[in-house]
Structure 1
Amino acid sequence: MKDSLKRNSRYSQEEATRLSRKNFLKAAGLGSAALALGFYFPAGAHIVNILAGETAADNEVPLVSLNAWIHIDTNGQVTLFDHRAEMGQGSYHSVPQIIAEELEVDLKDIQVSFAPGNRNEYGGQITGGSSTIRGSYKKLLKLSATARMMLVQAAANQWKVDVSTCYAASGHVIHKPSGKKLHYGQLVVAASKLQPPKEVPLKPVSEYKLIRKASRRIDTPLKTNGSAVFGLDKRIPDMLFATVERNPRMRGTVRSFDDSDTMKVKGVTKVFKVRMKVFNTWREGVAVVADSTWAAMQGKKALKVEWDDSNFEHISTPEIYRRQKELLSGQEGLIFQTQGNPSEVITAASTDAKLDVLYETPYQSHYAMEPVNCIAHWKGDTVEIWGPIQAPEMVQDAIAQEFSIPWQNVKVNMTFLGGGFGRKAFMDYPFEAAAISKELGKPVQVVWTREDDATQGPYRPGISYRCEGVVKAGKIEAMKVRLCGQNIGHFSSNDRSKPNGSASEGFLKPYTQSIPHLSIADVTFELPIPVLWWRSVYASTNGFAYESFIDELAVAAGTDPLEFRRQHLPDERVHKLIDKLEAVSGWKSRGTNKGYGVAITECFNSTVGQVVKVSRIPEGGIKIDKVWAVIDCGWYVNPDIIHAQVEGSVAMGLGAAALHEVTFTDGLVDQKNFYDYNMPRIADMPPVEVHIIDNAEDAGGVGEPGLPPFAPALANAVYDLSGKRIRRLPFSLASV
């Protein structure tokens, strides 16, 4: 198997990583072989000195850690730590790129390693909400500049010169008048005895050498030569392997099981019942433990389980949407946002002056290329975790709470993730691995098959939207939206009195300044199906409803759809984005009914506008000719990564809009693997042209905001070409 073949080639990298972390722990005061200065404690929002007087062991290079992100050994080797998960979105490169800019080191000369889960040193480490850069960049710039200034001061002190005559470049401090220079490794010990400056000037954008410049990603060679360690590749000594047969209806319990045939499979060592926490409910299954992944999988196939599926509803997809439609026709819902009197205005308007339409969006699976997996090693009252994990602190808290141990006793080590999209920010699979390891008293890797991943969820919720509106004198007079779908927050809380906190996600805030009568409400809808964050969360479904409806209102007003948005979005930044989108797409010269659609959405502090061009094909149906995307994400790091993330978002948005969905029959998931959950192929992908707005605003997200506008822009393009309004996803391009 692939993981077995790669094992030997990975040991050198893993040994290097372990050595770095070993030195890191010593620098943190848990050992005695290193000097350390300037550890950063987010809770205190300041830099403090930690001095250690001991020297390194004879067989180790003395290490100085300037802060939790920067390690420099006395040979001058710089190691930068990425405190977030790397699942393809680029943090493994962009976080070091930020640090290297102010530290004045070359990316080609550094090493990068994943930071362990430690909220006291790194603050929040949840990789979600497109938060890695926007939540950390100011802190990282300041920490890096502080470290550089201390190294420069140490050199000036050694040369007995004024610090203003010295500068840093390429991992060295240089004395301008004489040309003398010292590498950072020669200065870190002296720097450790200095008091960090309270204020540090940061470079202006105009002086950036690395930031805002395209550069080859550090992780690309690792992923192409096979040396990158993903969760499935990770190995630790004496590790066992496990698979779990879980109830296909997700909430059922184990009535009984017969493992007689399973125990005959060579390599299988133990079979037992296991429970896994899924939000505030439990999922039962039967674990099969073996000395290899293959043996565990074969043992699972031979297992016979009788399930108890009583006490919860076995729902089917048509019934889900029938109920949602019925609720939307009879309930006002919980008000999330309101201004003016939209209900009164809509009721008083004549029939030909108002719209009342329903949009439906499907359940979706995350379908990351690397199925869910996790290693756990329970030792006494501590447990150590390794794997593709998006949210270390959430894993620590979940395990600590259920097993009654301090969160500090749960050590979480991140590997590369083969995709995540929100699924690997959940706590169920590390929790299950910990429970199995505790039962065995040994380390174990729990591997989910593709079918496990596809049929167990959690999923993006399927949501219906009832949108009502009135246009008067070419403007939106009133707009009323009610959404009906599962609320992720309800799975972890018993409070049903509050509306979905993401009910307006994706809807641009400036709309509220131009629409005098507006309301957004959430109609409560409960099912036993577990739902979870999916790339761009509720914006991925809200965006389709909101921006499709804006387009319908534009048509009702007899106004160009892009100009209609400009009139209703009184915001300078949005107008600049619209101007750019209009220019690059050739919107004004497109002609009429030529298959152009537009949508603009906002999430995680970034705004993205997209124009989609479609055309008829001779054999019937529609093809996507091109997508133009303009993103305003404020301060940014690497334009190549932004382009890649927007392009990837379009690919994922295309799949959700026109190719795949999760459906249920009698409580069972219908789609088991890629053969019936069709993903976009290369031939399906249109050219995508990405443009970035330059400005001095605070950083917004990049990994997710490119997804929400695609589906409505595509649907609006289909309408422009064919006159057919798409109100339910997914739809078939071949049959339009």
Structure 2
Amino acid sequence: MTRLSKVPLTDHPLTRRNFLIVSMGAGVAFGFAGVAIAALDPASPDQQPPAPGVEPSLWFGIDPEGTVTVNIIRAEMGQHVGTSIARILADELEADWSKVRITHVDSAAKWGLMVTGGSWSVWQSYPIYSRAGAAGRIALIEAGAKILGVSPDACVARNGAVVAGGRSVTYGDIVKRGEITRVFTPEEMEKLPLKPVAERKLIGKPVEEIDIAAKINGTALYGIDAKVPGMVYARPKMPPTRNGSKVVSVDESAARKVKGFLRTITLDDPSDTVPGWVMVIAESYPAAIRATDLLRVTWTAGPGADVSEKDIQDRSVKLIATPDAGGVLDTGGGDTAAAFKAAKSSFEQTYTTSSVLHFQLEPVNALAFEKDGMFEIHTGNQWQSLILPTLAKALRRPESEIVMRTYLLGGGFGRRLSGDYAVPAALASQALGRPVKMILTREDDIRFDTIRSPSVQTLRMAFDGAGRVTAMVHDAAAGWPTQIWAPFFMPKGVNGVPYDPFSSSGADHWYEVGVQKVRAISNDLANTTYRPGWLRSVGSGWVNWALESFMDEAARYLKLDPVAFRLKLLTGAGRNAGSAPNAVGGAKRQANVVRLAAERAGWGQKLPPDTGLGLATSFGQERNMPTWGACVARVRVDRKTGMVFVEKLTIVMDAGTIVDPDGALAQTEGAALWGLSMALHEGTEFVKGRAKATNLDSYTPLRMADVPELDISFVESQEVPVGLGEPATTLTAPAIANAIHAAVGVRLRHIPIKPEAVLAALKIKG
């Protein structure tokens, strides 16, 4: 059973199978004008422009029928992000939900940063869309009052209409009358009164997801569905290395025998995104597949052709042992070396993780062509703002002449943050002078994957004579995706060395541990062997694995209960007190979810033999956007086979205001199960510069039969809504490892945890 609840907790049973910123003058940030709403779905070529209406802001429009169209800049990949954002605006606007529509907009500079990741979407959208809705409501009330011949103070907005006593006028009729003239300055926008929580009708309430019908009836279009007349198909012949490969020769003789084969194109890529790529062009995709298999290409391999997983991990170990390597995070200062020297005792452990692949259901693909002076890229993408400059460099044309058309994503999970797959399609189309649709096979997709780097982490903790924690050091080494893809996102550490925040977030935790030092180290060998990528988990996905495994071990070193030990350190004092607007309550809120999860899971109860409970907690990612969470895993270990059976996951999340309860549940379920999958099943290794596993016959994620009982709860809160797409992912692996120790007394410090590792640990223990 899966249970969704808030605290106070109410069970919700489910089976487990089952603002245009109007340039009317400086300072005008929100205005109304009678213009046509031009935001269309590019994936629906037969869609007709809507009737002229008003665009109260960049973020939404209202037509004469009262239909509210909300513009969404976030990618939809199954999380119903459009519904979540639309309900934020619609609630403040007092719109009729049955007349609310969403449109996922194309890339354009006016939208600002277009990125879907890091569990940022609702958190970053909430202040923008809520104020846009509030401004719209005020302007509509003023216009409606004028039509009704009363004072605005005598009116209220309700369900898509302005009401005064027994009389009313709908939003559509107000738009038809053209009475809306109100303009707000940025300062006025900041001071707009938002609804009291008690008056919310959509936020936190059960409503129908706007996009479900299209997904069910097949009308929803994904990138792989994109097509235009006259297009041809392409598949790449993958080079031996991700970086630096060069084509020596191409032999088409066998490929020419395939009916439908047209030609090959050796890509010239100024952006160096796809070095050594040869594209096979054909009239159909099956022909492109067959011809590519028959194509013979000789390359000079780039760096990393002889690199193995062990080489990468050995490099991390060496870097951790180099005192001045890496960037040091700001954790409040203090001399950790002196603290360890003065300590009565200390404790140290090292934790590792394997390479992890994305394996999203829809392999990466892109349709590219030039039309009316614009180069169009039709594809599903999570970070349009990131790939557009790369496309401009590759195509040798201004970014203003490139547009990315938006489609649904058949899975993103961080793979579609880079958008690198748009480059080869665009280059092939440019060289051929016609539309090219590139689709990667599953094996191609994995060879081109931006994998989650393997990692090595060493943690140390110092104690005084009374067992009080006086210092903590955390060194984390791995390949850095942000260094490769978005170095402008990297802050400088207190030692002046830039670091990847998405490879260290979580290590700057909310525990009170005396003086603290976190060192984030870039594995240069990993970065040159392949292109590390982000993968669903908030931050790196490996940091909390080490941190929460270590906290459990430290508790047992002190002979303390792991829950009691964590609660003792989550004091909410000093830098861990939290602050407005996003981290009100600080570590005390984290302590609360730990306490609730433990109580709900029956912490301390007597369990059957070889069965144990393990707890892990996290704040999700950035300290300025914490999503407090705790998970208790109930695990049974088979001593004969080494098999680990996860029987139940009890999860309590505090994400502030829950905007979309259904979406919050689905997001937490999916995140937790992915974390479980990476804990016990997922993982590959690098052999001669390539991932060993290339398909699901050798890479085996969690199967349905292994899905445990889920008990998921949300703390009832009026605080700012923060992210829920990923935080639960980082909770499950350490909770499982901690539960294994509780069950059979062995400690596993590498994920995935395989049966043979369990057996080996049991043998050593025995």
TM-score, normalised with respect to structure 2 = 0.84
Deviation at 1:456, TM superposition (A): 1.8
Contact 1:359–1:728 (Cα < 8 Å) also in 2: yes
Q: Which amino acid aligns with 1:536?
A: S
Structure 2 partner of 1:28: none
Structure 2 partner of 1:257: 250
Question: Structure 1, residues 512-548: CA drift from partner, whole Å, max 9, x if none?
Answer: xx21232222344212221011113544100011111
Contact 2:33–2:55 (Cα < 8 Å) also in 1: no
Structure 2 partner of 1:342: 336
Deviation at 1:362, TM superposition (A): 1.2
Q: What is the alpha-carbon distance in structure 1 between the residues aligned to residue 35 and residue 476 of structure 2?
A: 58
Contact 1:450–1:673 (Cα < 8 Å) also in 2: yes
Question: Structure 1, residues 356-394: CA drift from partner, whole Å, max 9, x if none?
Answer: 221111111111111101111124752112111111222
Q: What is the alpha-carbon distance in structure 2 between the residues aligned to residue 246 and residue 540 of structure 1?
A: 28
Structure 2 partner of 1:152: 141
Structure 2 partner of 1:15: none
Contact 2:369–2:375 (Cα < 8 Å) also in 1: yes
| Equivalent pairs, count | 692
Percent identity over paired residues:
28
2:179 equivalent to 1:187? no
Deviation at 1:349, TM superposition (A): 5.2
Deviation at 1:294, TM superposition (A): 1.8
Q: What is the alpha-carbon distance in structure 1 between the residues aligned to residue 57 and residue 208 of structure 2?
A: 26
Name structure 1 gaps, 5 residues minimum. 1-35
Question: Structure 1, residues 124-171: CA drift from partner, whole Å, max 9, x if none?
Answer: 220011111111111101111212222222222122122223222232
Q: What is the alpha-carbon distance in structure 1 between the residues aligned to residue 450 and residue 105 of structure 2?
A: 27
Name structure 2 gaps, 5 residues minimum. 1-18, 39-47, 491-495, 573-587, 759-766
Structure 1 partner of 2:355: 363
SS in 1 for 2:536: coil
Structure 1 partner of 2:162: 173
Q: What is the alpha-carbon distance in structure 2 between the residues aligned to residue 44 and residue 97 of structure 1?
A: 28
- Go from structure 1 to structure 2 and tell me whether the alpha carbon gap of 1:43 and 1:308 turns closer, same or farther (over 3 Å shift): farther
SS in 2 for 1:395: helix
Deviation at 1:41, TM superposition (A): 11
Contact 1:334–1:521 (Cα < 8 Å) also in 2: yes
Deviation at 1:39, TM superposition (A): 4.6
Q: What is the alpha-carbon distance in structure 1 between the residues aligned to residue 735 and residue 428 of structure 2?
A: 47
Contact 1:335–1:499 (Cα < 8 Å) also in 2: yes
For residue 675 of structure 1, the aligned residue among 697, 713, 726 is 697
Contact 2:140–2:171 (Cα < 8 Å) also in 1: no
2:256 equivalent to 1:240? no
Decide which moves more: 591-600 or 413-422. Answer: 591-600
Q: How does 1:333-732 map to 2 (within 5 A)?
A: 333-337=325-329, 339-347=333-341, 353-379=345-371, 381-472=373-464, 473-491=466-484, 497-502=497-502, 504-507=504-507, 509-511=509-511, 514-527=512-525, 528-571=529-572, 572-589=588-605, 594-602=611-619, 603-604=621-622, 605=625, 606-617=627-638, 620=641, 621-732=643-754
Q: What is the alpha-carbon distance in structure 2 between the residues aligned to residue 302 and residue 470 of structure 1?
A: 61
Q: What is the alpha-carbon distance in structure 2 between the residues aligned to residue 591 and residue 684 of structure 1?
A: 21
Q: What is the alpha-carbon distance in structure 2 between the residues aligned to residue 369 and residue 377 of structure 1?
A: 25
Structure 2 partner of 1:30: none
- Go from structure 1 to structure 2 and tell me whether the alpha carbon gap of 1:689 and 1:420 turns closer, same or farther (over 3 Å shift): same
- Go from structure 1 to structure 2 and tell me whether the alpha carbon gap of 1:487 and 1:618 turns closer, same or farther (over 3 Å shift): closer
Q: What is the alpha-carbon distance in structure 2 between the residues aligned to residue 194 and residue 497 of structure 1?
A: 49
Q: Which amino acid aligns with 2:181?
A: K
Q: What is the alpha-carbon distance in structure 2 between the residues aligned to residue 322 and residue 59 of structure 1?
A: 59
Contact 1:41–1:47 (Cα < 8 Å) also in 2: no
Decide which moves more: 432-441 or 76-85. Answer: 76-85
Contact 1:471–1:557 (Cα < 8 Å) also in 2: no
TM-score, normalised with respect to structure 1 = 0.88
Deviation at 1:727, TM superposition (A): 0.3
Structure 2 partner of 1:206: 198
Structure 2 partner of 1:299: 291
Q: What is the alpha-carbon distance in structure 1 between the residues aligned to residue 416 and residue 319 of structure 2?
A: 32
Deviation at 1:722, TM superposition (A): 1.0
- Go from structure 1 to structure 2 and tell me whether the alpha carbon gap of 1:71 and 1:522 turns closer, same or farther (over 3 Å shift): closer
Deviation at 1:303, TM superposition (A): 1.2
Q: What is the alpha-carbon distance in structure 2 between the residues aligned to residue 185 and residue 84 of structure 1?
A: 31
SS in 2 for 1:363: coil
- Go from structure 1 to structure 2 and tell me whether the alpha carbon gap of 1:224 and 1:248 turns closer, same or farther (over 3 Å shift): farther
- Go from structure 1 to structure 2 and tell me whether the alpha carbon gap of 1:416 and 1:37 turns closer, same or farther (over 3 Å shift): closer
Contact 2:204–2:658 (Cα < 8 Å) also in 1: yes
Q: What is the alpha-carbon distance in structure 1 between the residues aligned to residue 334 and residue 469 of structure 2?
A: 13
Contact 2:232–2:436 (Cα < 8 Å) also in 1: yes
2:87 equivalent to 1:87? no
Deviation at 1:257, TM superposition (A): 0.9
Contact 1:39–1:50 (Cα < 8 Å) also in 2: no
SS in 2 for 1:284: coil
Contact 2:223–2:407 (Cα < 8 Å) also in 1: yes
- Go from structure 1 to structure 2 and tell me whether the alpha carbon gap of 1:509 and 1:360 turns closer, same or farther (over 3 Å shift): closer
Deviation at 1:682, TM superposition (A): 0.8
- Go from structure 1 to structure 2 and tell me whether the alpha carbon gap of 1:618 and 1:293 turns closer, same or farther (over 3 Å shift): same
Structure 2 partner of 1:72: 62
SS in 1 for 2:121: coil
Q: Which amino acid aligns with 1:633?
A: A
Q: What is the alpha-carbon distance in structure 2 between the residues aligned to residue 45 and residue 355 of structure 1?
A: 58
Q: Which amino acid aligns with 1:48?
A: G
Q: What is the alpha-carbon distance in structure 1 between the residues aligned to residue 270 and residue 81 of structure 2?
A: 29
- Go from structure 1 to structure 2 and tell me whether the alpha carbon gap of 1:653 and 1:311 turns closer, same or farther (over 3 Å shift): closer
Contact 1:506–1:540 (Cα < 8 Å) also in 2: no
Q: What is the alpha-carbon distance in structure 1 between the residues aligned to residue 28 and residue 235 of structure 2?
A: 43
For the aligned residue pairs, the C-alpha RMSD in angstroms reads: 2.9
SS in 2 for 1:720: helix
Deviation at 1:644, TM superposition (A): 0.9
Q: What is the alpha-carbon distance in structure 2 between the residues aligned to residue 627 and residue 217 of structure 1?
A: 27
Q: Which amino acid aligns with 1:259?
A: E
- Go from structure 1 to structure 2 and tell me whether the alpha carbon gap of 1:481 and 1:404 turns closer, same or farther (over 3 Å shift): same
Decide which moves more: 521-530 or 487-496. Answer: 487-496
Contact 1:37–1:51 (Cα < 8 Å) also in 2: no
Question: Structure 1, residues 203-234: CA drift from partner, whole Å, max 9, x if none?
Answer: 11111111011333222222222111111112
Decide which moves more: 489-498 or 455-464. Answer: 489-498
Q: What is the alpha-carbon distance in structure 1 between the residues aligned to residue 640 and residue 49 of structure 2?
A: 71
Structure 1 partner of 2:281: 289
Structure 1 partner of 2:582: none
Contact 2:480–2:503 (Cα < 8 Å) also in 1: no
Q: What is the alpha-carbon distance in structure 1 between the residues aligned to residue 484 and residue 474 of structure 2?
A: 24
Deviation at 1:83, TM superposition (A): 1.7
- Go from structure 1 to structure 2 and tell me whether the alpha carbon gap of 1:242 and 1:161 turns closer, same or farther (over 3 Å shift): same
Deviation at 1:123, TM superposition (A): 2.4
Q: What is the alpha-carbon distance in structure 1 between the residues aligned to residue 36 and residue 211 of structure 2?
A: 36
Deviation at 1:72, TM superposition (A): 2.3
Structure 1 partner of 2:13: none
Contact 2:143–2:174 (Cα < 8 Å) also in 1: no
Structure 2 partner of 1:8: none
- Go from structure 1 to structure 2 and tell me whether the alpha carbon gap of 1:302 and 1:334 turns closer, same or farther (over 3 Å shift): closer
For residue 47 of structure 1, the aligned residue among 7, 20, 30 is 30
Q: What is the alpha-carbon distance in structure 2 between the residues aligned to residue 471 and residue 76 of structure 1?
A: 65
Structure 1 partner of 2:5: none
2:88 equivalent to 1:98? yes
Deviation at 1:675, TM superposition (A): 0.8
Q: What is the alpha-carbon distance in structure 2 between the residues aligned to residue 384 and residue 125 of structure 1?
A: 17
Q: What is the alpha-carbon distance in structure 1 between the residues aligned to residue 558 and residue 596 of structure 2?
A: 24
Deviation at 1:415, TM superposition (A): 0.6
Contact 1:635–1:696 (Cα < 8 Å) also in 2: yes
- Go from structure 1 to structure 2 and tell me whether the alpha carbon gap of 1:413 and 1:294 turns closer, same or farther (over 3 Å shift): same
Deviation at 1:617, TM superposition (A): 4.8
